[in-house]
Structures are given as structure tokens and as C-alpha cells.
Amino acid sequence: MPATRLVYVADREADILALRVRARDLERSADWLIRSQHNRALPDGERLWHRVTAGEPPGKISFKQAARQGQEARELRQRIWAQRFEWPDAARGVVSATCIVARESAPPPGVKPMESRVLSKREVADFEAAVQLIDWYPRVGR
């Protein structure tokens, strides 16, 4: 099925370098999208999530958040950032990934802002591509 795109979607437990190295080394690996657990240190000492969100976001999304855990359903607005990074890999050089951060911009009073961070094998050329990846992860996107 050469026209079929396989996507491995995983929660924080899969945020490990070994998985990204194995995917890189496979001849025909699936795309992957992993909810980011670790705010990694970058070579210059800065932290990943801070670097990604340092500038103005390229765009915003809004969607209806379903009711959950004592919170009513509400309109949720998030700013979206995306940036590509490389991390050292002792075995073969580097492993590349795109980090995407979706941060709520105006939560209701007393409600913790919803922020989600994902890593993906895919490169993000524009805002629409970042939104597509956010939509791949059901707890992050619309």
C-alpha cells in the first residue's frame, strides 16, 4: 500500500530517544507524533519549550472543548508554535524532530491554561502543517 501513510501516535511514555533513533534507522518507518514529556536542554543550555515559544506564534486556532473533570464545555483559543530541532545521538550523529506547542491564550478565571506539546518526525513548512499535526493527537487538537 504505497499510498498509505502510517502514523504512530503515542502519549508521554513514548518520549524516549531510542524510539526516534529506531524510526530514523528503519528503511520505511512510519511517521510519528509523541506527546512531549521532557523539556530537553538544547546545546546552548536553553530549554526546548521556551525556545519554541520565544517569538510570536505564526497563528491561532479555536475550537469547542468538551466538558471534562468538573469543567463545563467552552470555546478554547490556542496559539501554535512549531520549530525543528536536532539532538545528539551517540550511535550515529543526530535525530531530528519538530516540536509543536499549543498554548491557551485566554482561559476563564481560575482555570489552568491548556498547553500541549508534541514532537513529530514530520517537518512543518507552515502554520497549516502545524495545525494538521496538532489534530493528529486527539487530546491536543480540536
Residues 6+ apart with CB under 8 A from 85: 42, 48, 96, 97, 98, 99
User: Top-level CATH class of 7-136?
Assistant: alpha beta
Of 121, 139, 142, the residue nearest 131 (C-alpha): 142
At 16-71, the pLDDT tens digits run 888 888 888 887 778 889 999 889 888 888 999 999 999 999 999 998 888 877 77
| pTM attached to this predicted model | 0.85
Q: What per-residue confidence (pLDDT) applies to 142?
A: 41
Q: What per-residue confidence (pLDDT) applies to 141?
A: 41
For 103, phi then psi, to 5°, come to -120, 130
From CA 125, how far away is CA 1, in angstroms rounded?
26
Instruction: Using CB atoms within 10 Å of the CB of residue 65, give its burial: 0 to 12 exposed, 13 to 18 middle, 19+ buried.
Output: middle
What is the residue extent of each domain of the chain?
A: 7-136
At 89-141, the pLDDT tens digits run 877 688 889 999 999 998 989 888 989 999 999 999 999 999 999 888 765 44
